[in-house]
Amino acid sequence: MKRVSLALLVLGAASAGAPLAAQSLLYRPANLGGTWVPDPGVVQFNFVHRFYVTGDPSHKVNNYPTFTLALGFGHAVGLGMHYGSNSQVVLLPGVYRPNETEFFGRWRVLGSEGRPGFSVAVTPAYNAAARSADGELSVDYTIGKLTVSGAARGMTKAFGLDTARAAFAGGFVARLTRYIAVSADLGSFVSPSTRAAWSVALDFLIPSSPHAFSLQASNATTSTIQGNSVGNGKMLYGFEFTIPLHLKRFSPWFHGTGRPKLVVPEGAAVLKIAQYKFATDTATITAGRTVVWVNDDVAEHTVTFDGTEPGSPIIPPGGTFSHRFDRPGTYPYHCTPHPFMKGVVVVK
């Protein structure tokens, strides 16, 4: 049990964040990049794995993984790359390039992912396998629990052998609850058309964490602008997992300065929550004083007392919870989403 708790602590300390500070799969279909941009100082790592199994007699598993790595600069610009192994975007006679690398930037010129209304982003890219300068204009519209997405794409050298071509795609995400959504999309090259790329997915936001997970079915092999625009004739199954790495865990240079100044009652004791632990394991106060817990972490936490004392709701990153202790005693507490986090308030 201790090993499991330690593993959760290490994973959380490296990659915790608010759901929308990380990339949430509950706001974009599987084959669309959407208008998401990493937050400043956040390195986003996404892993998409798709596969199909051949028939008799070999039953060979054919794998199509894509890795995404992106870094946020400011609140509207991100730079990154997609790397797809076993890509089928470029298959030239005598020049077989099974690996596909796409370098991209994204500038969100309007709106914000997950907020009501329109959001618009421009994504210039270079596909090293096709030796093509590519680009995408993305538009999202969010109303209530529904997000509708569209994309217009252009390539100077599609598949490494065509002249300039264009593609269009569209899709939607319907959020059934705060943590579960369904999505679908469809996209294709035009003039001349090719086999359309499509996907359907069941998406999950892992509670009290920055991670999102998606179960997918699609006929697209790699998550690049070109790879998401053409189907390969096979139905692939797989998943996607998102992992944000907050650089402020490793360097104070990346700490934000936009958090409002903390105001606490006179004489209150302040206990910080950081790095997936209560900074003070035991706090000793006198009766009648107030304790203020400050969530200085990048994940949601709670202060849940082991006895009958009323605890907190979910405390978001940057949030606080206050409680006045009028009776002497010992009050142990823990975090409900992360029960390995424990603390005690001793009232004299």
Respond yes or no on whether the N-terminal peptide bond of residue 192 is cis (omega within 30° of 0): yes
* Residue 274: partners with Cβ closer than 8 Å, 6 or more residues away: 296, 297
Residue 249 is predicted with a pLDDT of 56
DSSP structure class, residue 40:
B
| DSSP structural state of residue 229 | G
Strand partners, 278: 273
Is residue 230 within 8 Å of 188, Cβ to Cβ?
yes
What does CATH list as the number for 17-249? 2.40.160.40
Q: Kindly list the strands in the beta sheet with 304-305, ordered across the sheet, starting from the edge strand earlier in the chain.
A: 282-285, 342-347, 329-334, 304-305
Domain with CATH 2.60.40.420 in the chain: 259-347
Strands 290-295 and 269-274: parallel
Q: What are the C-alpha distances in Å from 247 to residues 39, 45, 221?
A: 11, 13, 31
Q: Do the Cβ atoms of 194 and 230 come closer than 8 Å?
A: yes
Residue-wise pLDDT tens for the chain (348 aa)? 444 343 433 334 333 333 444 456 888 999 998 888 887 778 889 999 999 988 878 788 889 999 999 998 877 899 999 999 888 887 666 656 678 999 999 999 988 767 788 999 999 999 998 899 999 999 999 998 999 999 999 999 988 887 889 999 999 999 998 889 999 999 999 877 788 999 999 999 887 677 889 999 999 999 999 999 998 888 999 999 988 876 665 555 554 444 556 677 778 899 999 888 898 889 999 999 999 999 988 778 889 998 888 889 888 888 899 999 999 999 999 988 788 889 999 999
Where residue 98 falls (left for φ over 0; alpha for ψ -120 to 50; beta otherwise) is: alpha
> Residue 205: its pLDDT value, please?
84
pLDDT of 86 reads: 82
Query: Does CATH number 3.30.1050.10 belong to domain 259-347?
Result: no
In the block, residue with structure tokens 């969100």: 108
Residue of 28, 33, 31 whose CA lies nearest to 174: 28
Distance CA 128, CA 224 (A): 11
DSSP conformational letter for 39 = P
Q: Where in the chain is the domain with CATH 2.40.160.40?
A: 17-249
The pLDDT value recorded for residue 338 is 82
Close Cβ partners of 304 (under 8 Å, ≥ 6 residues apart): 311, 312, 333, 334, 335, 336
The count of other CB atoms within 10 Å of the CB of residue 116 is 12
pLDDT at 323: 93
- Number of other CB atoms surrounding residue 317 within 10 Å: 18
Please provide the distance, in angstroms rounded to a whole number, between the alpha carbons at the two ends of the chain: 34
Tell me how far apart the alpha carbons of residues 278 and 167 are, in angstroms, rounded to a whole number: 51
Tell me what pLDDT residue 191 has: 78
Structure tokens at 37: 């941009």
Closest CA to 82 of 216, 224, 219, 225: 224
Residue 11 pLDDT: 39
CB atoms within 10 A of CB 262: 12
pLDDT for position 211: 82
- Give the H/E segment covering residue 231: none
